Amino acid sequence: MTPELIQRHPRIEDLFDTYSERFGRHQTAYRHHIYRVVNLVASQRLLSEEELDQVAIAGFFHDAGIWLAGTFDYLDPSARLAAHYLEEQGLEAWGPLIEAMILNHHKVTRYSSDSLSLAEMFRRADWIDVSLGVLRFGLPAARIRRIKEAFPNAGFHTLLLKLGGQQLLSQPWRPLPMLRR
């Protein structure tokens, strides 16, 4: 049975309410990317409410350093922002898992031999989205298409290309974040 799409998650919405001005005109593009990733994770196996909450937090913060720390070298800043949030919420015990999801979401090779670990599923979900569904990791193309239709790109991939190009031009000696882990 295919799970229903997650259209809204309270944690994601609360975080966007807190930081909305920081995302500016990129808010819709990033929000849709987060919901695509969360839905792609949820499409890989049934998640408990706690796991869905963890994926939602990692989803919000995984690229947030671009806007909230003002850098395209965003993996470590994003993980620090998530750790601070978890501390504020009294959820420090979730820290290692959420940090693993954030720091390894661009990893080209498997993060874990356990294909159903949240960090590995999150890594695959981000790659599915960033590759526009060319990479599927066994998910049905129809499911990916349904998620993309519910949460249109809204310029997210163009933004990534632009930011990546700026990084290459300004610091060609510095590998892009997805090539460092």
pLDDT at 103: 95
Residue 174 confidence (pLDDT): 56
Whole-number pLDDT of residue 180? 47
Residues 6-19: pLDDT tens digits? 999 999 999 999 99
What are the tens digits of pLDDT across the range 155-176? 887 877 776 665 555 555 555 5
User: Can you tell me the distance from the alpha carbon of 102 to that of 57, in angstroms, rounded to the nearest whole number?
Assistant: 10
**Pairwise CA distance, residues 68 & 25, whole Å:** 14
Of the candidates 117, 107, 111, 125, the residue with the CA atom closest to the CA atom of residue 59? 125
Sign of CA dihedral 56, 62, 64, 69: positive
Condensed to tens digits (0 to 9), the pLDDT of residues 63-114 reads 999 899 888 788 999 999 999 999 999 999 999 999 999 999 988 888 888 8
Give the angle subtended at the CA of 108 by the CAs of 92 and 34, to the nearest 5°.
50
Q: pLDDT of 12-69, one tens digit each? A: 999 999 998 999 999 999 999 999 999 999 999 999 999 999 999 999 999 999 899 8
Distance CA(42)–CA(55), nearest Å, equals: 9
Task: Please state the pTM of the whole predicted model.
Answer: 0.90
CA 107, 110, 114, 119: dihedral to nearest 10 degrees? Answer: 10
Q: What integer pLDDT is reported at residue 177 of this predicted model?
A: 57
What are 104-143's pLDDT values in tens digits? 998 888 888 888 899 999 999 999 999 999 999 999 999 9
Q: Which two tokens stand for residue 165?
A: 């190009």
- Domain assignments of the chain as residue spans, ordered by start: 10-179
Residue 84 has what pLDDT? 98
